[in-house]
Structure 1
Amino acid sequence: MGYCTKKVYYFDKPGEANTRDAIRIGAERAQELGISTILVPSTSGETARVAYEELKGTPLHLVIVTHVVGFSNPGVWEFDADLAADLRKAGVTIITGTHVLSGLERAFSSSPKVSGGSRSEAVAEALRRIIAVGLKVAVECTLIAADQGAIGVSDEVIALGGTASGVDTVCVIKPSHTQRFFDLQVREIVAMPRDR
């Protein structure tokens, strides 16, 4: 036959209101495909808390990807440290990594002394604008998780992303490491906001 039929979900609008549904949709697709790992971004810890609540009791391994220390304010990790300790005790993996699609490049492009865009930022902007902000986040979190050894690169993962807070995009991704970026494959976009 050469093809299959699967559900794709479209949220009317992007944003935090879609978080619980996106996590449930991700868990459902993971079960359908036999995927064992789900990646969820979380800045403050609120999305991580919701993901843990929704996935508790499932066989899914939850990996939370947070902003780096100093992302918004020098020396400050925005994620709730007490929540992080509780989640780790419950078996959740939490990793913190530099945004691979901006990182050092952002320092150059935002500096008044050195300016201009970069290829990394162009890739990030293309993913954000053409498909969904959450797709850029899902791809970036997958790269960060692979680079830190939190996931392998041989098995597909469910990766979620969002548009400001919460999550609203669900993907099936075949991971790669950042240095092999073009080996990464977004195999399915399971859910996304229709209007961005």
Structure 2
Amino acid sequence: MGYITRETAYFDKPGKENTADVVHLAVERARLLNCTQIVVASTSGKTALAFLDAIRGTGIRLVVVSHVVGFSKPGIWEFSEDTAATLRAEGHIIVTGTHTLSGLERALSRAERVGGGSRSEAIAEALRRVVAVGLKVAVESVLIAADQGAIPIEDEVIAVGGTATGADCAAVIRPAHTATFFDLQVREIIAMPRNR
């Protein structure tokens, strides 16, 4: 047979109220595919904690991608230190890296004297608007995790992102490094909001 069929869940609207369903669906797909890593975007750590009970005893490891220090306020890391300690104690990884689809270019596009958009930001905006904000977050989290050496680029991962807070999108992704972005493949959409 030259094809496979898989179910995709579609939420009526984006948001954190979809987190529990995304956790269930992501873990279920990881188990189906024998995928041992779930890359989870988490600003404060709450979304990462939502995965802990669901993955216990499965052999699945979390690779949690947080905002960089100073993302919202200079010198401040938004991630809970207690949550970080809990995750690390259970063998999970936390990666904190610059947003690959904006980073320095966002500073340039916001600057009064420079202005203008960038190609990286155009890719980010296309993912946000054409598919879902959560997919943009999931893709970017995979790039950050790969660039930090937290995931191998040869193995598929389940990647989870959301719109503002919580999780509302999950996908099966074959990773790539930022420098080889176009080698990244979104292979399956597990869940996403229908309306954005």
TM-score, structure 1 normalization: 0.98
**Match of 1:147?**
147
**Match of 1:20?**
20
**Match of 2:177?**
177
**Match of 2:86?**
86
CA distance in 2, matches of 1:31, 1:62: 14
Contact persistence 1:45–1:83 (CA under 8 A): yes
CA distance in 2, matches of 1:54, 1:74: 34
**Match of 2:102?**
102
The list of structure 1 runs, each at least 4 consecutive aligned residues, that deviate by more than 2 angstroms after superposition, is: none
Deviations 1:71-100 (A, max 9, x none): 000000000112101210111111100000
**Match of 1:162?**
162
CA distance in 2, matches of 1:41, 1:4: 28
CA distance in 1, matches of 2:109, 2:77: 23
CA distance in 2, matches of 1:191, 1:111: 36
Alignment partner of 1:173: what SS? strand
TM-score, structure 2 normalization: 0.98
Counterpart residue type for residue 99 of structure 2: H
CA distance in 2, matches of 1:195, 1:144: 27
Counterpart residue type for residue 50 of structure 2: V
- Give the C-alpha shift of residue 56 in structure 1: 2.2
Residue 130 in 1 paired to residue 130 in 2?
yes
5+ long unaligned stretches in structure 1 = none
Contact persistence 1:20–1:54 (CA under 8 A): no
Which stretch shifts more, 81-90 or 159-168?
Answer: 81-90
5+ long unaligned stretches in structure 2 = none
- Give the C-alpha shift of residue 111 in structure 1: 1.0
